[in-house]
Structure 1
Amino acid sequence: MNLDARVAILLDKQEIYDLMCRYCRGVDRMDKELTLSCFWPGAIDVHIGRHGQLHTGTAEEFFDREWEGFSDFTASQHYLCNMLIDVDGDRAVAETYQFSFYWREPGDDPGLNWLNSNRYRDVFEKRNGEWRILRRDFLRNFTLPIRPVGFPTLENGWPTLSQSREDLAYRSVTDLPEKSVCD
């Protein structure tokens, strides 16, 4: 394979990785529009839990059914781990290991706060230069109850957790102050 072809594959893999990061941001910020923009309309979504299948249908149907439950949490964080992507033209398959934390107050109740270990097996398709998920098979490895020590506050100048487009993650370089707080 020549250098140009290898570079093209690397660029495709980076675009797919960026797509997955946008997906995590969408779920964690409760931005349903951003989350669904990672899937082609009508994309198949199969969620398989520890005790069998939880959902088979489209991604839109899954998020329409589950979205309200996500807002019951104070916050969530999704972390992408190992990601193996195989690109073949305008199709790609990826297996992504993922950890997600969900918590809500009171923070000391392990029945309300947990860590999930999951895997995404995604089929991506590139249309008009844009990669999106065509099919997702979601596999739950395990869920563990957690007991958070506390929730972040503004006491030390750190931002509070946010599940909205007002979150710091949505600010662009042009939104940054001219002078650093370290100056």
Structure 2
Amino acid sequence: MVTDELAALLDERAIRRVLLTYCRAIDRLDIELLRDCYWPEATDRHGPFTGTRDEFVAWVGPLLRRHTMTMHHLGNILIDLDGDSAHAETYGVAYHSGEPPGDVRWNYVAGFRYVDTFARRDGQWRIAARVTVIEWTDAWEADRGRIGGFGEYLPRRDRSDLAYRRPA
């Protein structure tokens, strides 16, 4: 009995890690890491987009580059395991800042849920199907300034970000 419970905890931990890795990949524009969160034949329905993993990655990359910053936060995560399959409902909030066509910088925030089916193959969990449910959104014109005083630790939207360097 304890062995089954431990196995379930480890499976849930692995699924949570995929969810968190997805957020890092999105926020750091790490397209290869993003691709690795999904099985090759996975599907994603994300706002106006519906398609395969590779189609999603090709669609979301240019969309994210329009923003100067994104930050995805995950909250409640409910995972139901069923052998080598799992269903997960994940609540989150995503912040976006950028300059769409025109000269005004906008901040955009969305409350959402990821409703996912995960599949385990060769001991590895990945997304098999995802639907993103947008619960609410808000947008406002932003001041162009940046709060100073944070030195070298400014965020980067690539693998030069501090998260990849592992500070000592």
Structure 1 length-normalised TM: 0.83
Rg larger in 1 or in 2?
1
Corresponding residue for residue 30 of structure 1: 29
Corresponding residue for residue 84 of structure 1: 78
Aligned pairs, number: 165
Letter in 2 for 1:63: V
Higher strand share: 2
CA-CA distance at 1:55 after TM superposition? 2.0
Task: Write out aligned runs for 1:1-183 (5 A).
Answer: 2-47=1-46, 49=47, 54-104=48-98, 109=104, 112-148=106-142, 150-153=145-148, 155-157=149-151, 159-172=153-166, 176=168
Cα displacement string for residues 99-134 of structure 1 (whole angstroms, at most 9, x for unaligned residues): 10000259xx56x21101111000000100100000
CA-CA distance at 1:158 after TM superposition? 5.5
Identity in percent: 38
Counterparts of 1:169 and 1:95, CA distance in 2: 26
Letter in 1 for 2:151: G
Corresponding residue for residue 181 of structure 1: none
Counterparts of 1:20 and 1:105, CA distance in 2: 28
Cα displacement string for residues 60-91 of structure 1 (whole angstroms, at most 9, x for unaligned residues): 10220231121111110000011000011111
Q: What is the root-mean-square deviation in Å for CA atoms of aligned residues? A: 2.0
CA-CA distance at 1:98 after TM superposition? 1.0
Cα displacement string for residues 30-56 of structure 1 (whole angstroms, at most 9, x for unaligned residues): 000001100000101112x4xxxx122
Counterparts of 1:5 and 1:69, CA distance in 2: 42
Letter in 2 for 1:41: P
Would the aligned equivalents of 2:155 and 2:162 in 1 still touch at CA under 8 Å? no
Counterparts of 1:126 and 1:78, CA distance in 2: 25
- Misfit runs of 4+, over 6 Å: none
Q: Please list every run of 5 or more consecutive structure 1 residues that lacks an aligned counterpart in the other structure.
A: 177-183
